[in-house]
Amino acid sequence: MYTRNITRQNYPMSQTPDDKEVMPPRDHCPFMRYYSAAYPHVYRYIYSLIPRKSDADEVMQETSVVLWQKFEEFQPDRDFTRWACGISRLVVLEVLRKQRRFIVGFDEQLIKELAIRREERYELLELRQEFLEECKEQLDQQDLNLLDLYYNSQESAQDAAEKKGCTRRNIYQRLGTIRKLLFQCIERKMSEDREV
């Protein structure tokens, strides 16, 4: 199985023995430090279990509140991000049981399977995320503009299509192409990294 040493610089919340020594006393301030650093990781984790933005946003907020409430139980020698991901998984399942389904077919059993698979691949996914940033830089300006329009400006595909003078279908197709380009670029970089 492919493994790679993860540096502390890359993963601020993956704690090393040094972390323990510098761990601040428990008050609101360390919570925010942990929370801010873990937020992107936890959000991505939630998104992989319930792949719809509105649902992921809602569960992320619920998780934030639970993390805040349960922070007293957090053991400083543990990895906060992994702890927070574990909590978020429970929140996802609780919301699923209480409220409603998310994506059709994403039942408790499948969500648990995905959670296990993601936890197994946690470090590789973190590495892929690093490569994603590099791969984004290789996209041409037109594609970067589209990503900016769709993701950053949160324009609907229809609005983006009107701005670009094409159809909504064209926008979805191009977004699909960009995602595939990014996926392939990350695969290439993973392979090169493996050889090194």
Q: Which positions touch another protein (CB under 8 A)?
A: 31-32, 35-36, 39-40, 43-44, 47-48, 51-54, 56-58, 60-62, 64-65, 67-68, 100-101, 103-107, 109-110, 113-114, 117-118, 121, 125, 128-129, 132, 147, 151-154, 157, 165-170, 172-177, 179-180, 182-184, 186-187
Whichever of 18 and 152 has its CB closer to another protein, that residue is 152
Whichever of 24 and 51 has its CB closer to another protein, that residue is 51
CB neighbour list of residue 55: distance below 8 Å, 6 or more residues apart: 102
* Closest CB 81 distance from another protein, rounded Å: 14
* Closest CB 86 distance from another protein, rounded Å: 17
| Amino acid symbol at 189 | K
Whichever of 138 and 167 has its CB closer to another protein, that residue is 167
* Closest CB 169 distance from another protein, rounded Å: 5
Check: CB of residue 53 under 8 Å from CB of residue 59: no
* Closest CB 120 distance from another protein, rounded Å: 9
What do you get for the CA distance between the two ends of the chain, in Å? 15
Whichever of 44 and 86 has its CB closer to another protein, that residue is 44
Radius of gyration of the chain (CA): 19
Burial class (CB within 10 angstroms; exposed 0-12, middle 13-18, buried 19+) of 77:
exposed
* Closest CB 49 distance from another protein, rounded Å: 9
Q: How far is CA 91 from CA 36, 124, 182, in A?
A: 19, 24, 31
Q: How far is CA 167 from CA 8, 127, 156, 163, in A?
A: 45, 35, 12, 10
- Token digits for 114? 């995905």
